Amino acid sequence: MFTGIVRELGRVASVAENASGIRLEIDAPLTAASTAVGDSVAVNGCCLTAISRVSGRIAFDAVPETLARTSIGGLRVGAAVNVEPALRVGEPLGGHYVQGHVDGVGRVLAVEDGPEGRRVSVELPAELRRFVVEKGSLTLEGVSLTVAALDGQGFTVALIPHTLAVTTLGGLARGALVNLEVDVLARYVERLLSSASL
């Protein structure tokens, strides 16, 4: 489990195709220092399993299922990525409950700077709209955010300067593809309500 509080900006060191998908190597020395083989690490909000760790670099395998459901397959050497190690017992929960199970990929519709910070609007896949509410939580590229507004196409988030500085969200541009994870609590509520009506 994760919290959506990015611990480190990593950088893609290599991307190599293999028989089972791609092998991804990320330079993330702070995270690597406390990561063991088999540990879960969120990369741009996608939970991946560390398969090796050498000199501040962590390697992961991404299988076709992951590549089909996330934007991980679009990563290129040199790209910055949001990195968060799995939450450990006793650590503070600073964001919200995040599983690292990407629910869908959205497209950035607009990026607007204003006196209150930067607002980013993202197209929301139709099948996810029922799980998103204004002032509710949502994960965008692995970052826990509060939904500032909703409309027929998607949602808008307001980003403070700190978030822009310590995550990849400061580099988002119109048309970018982003990983989305809705609040898992909303999914459980829907399941309970649908079961009750049977």
Task: Note whether 157 and 108 are within 8 A (CB).
Answer: no
Q: Mean pLDDT of all residues in the chain?
A: 92
What domains are defined for the chain? Answer: 8-85 (2.40.30.20), 104-196 (2.40.30.20)
Look up residue 64 and give its two tokens: 């076709």
Least confident window among 8-12, 55-59, 71-75, 184-188: 184-188
Q: Give the burial class of 144: count Cβ atoms within 10 A of its Cβ; 0-12 exposed, 13-18 middle, 19 or more buried.
A: buried
Question: What Cα–Cα distance (Å) separates residue 136 from each residue in 4, 54, 69, 147?
Answer: 14, 39, 23, 6
Q: 192 pLDDT exceeds 90?
A: no
Each residue's pLDDT tens digit, 103-119 = 999 999 999 998 878 99
Q: 198 pLDDT exceeds 90?
A: no
Instruction: Give the pLDDT score at 196.
Output: 62
Each residue's pLDDT tens digit, 42-90 = 999 999 999 999 999 999 999 999 999 999 999 999 999 999 999 887 7
Instruction: Give the pLDDT score at 195.
Output: 67
Instruction: Give the pLDDT score at 68.
Output: 94
Confidence of residue 183 (pLDDT cuts 50, 70, 90): confident
pTM above the 0.75 mark?
Answer: yes
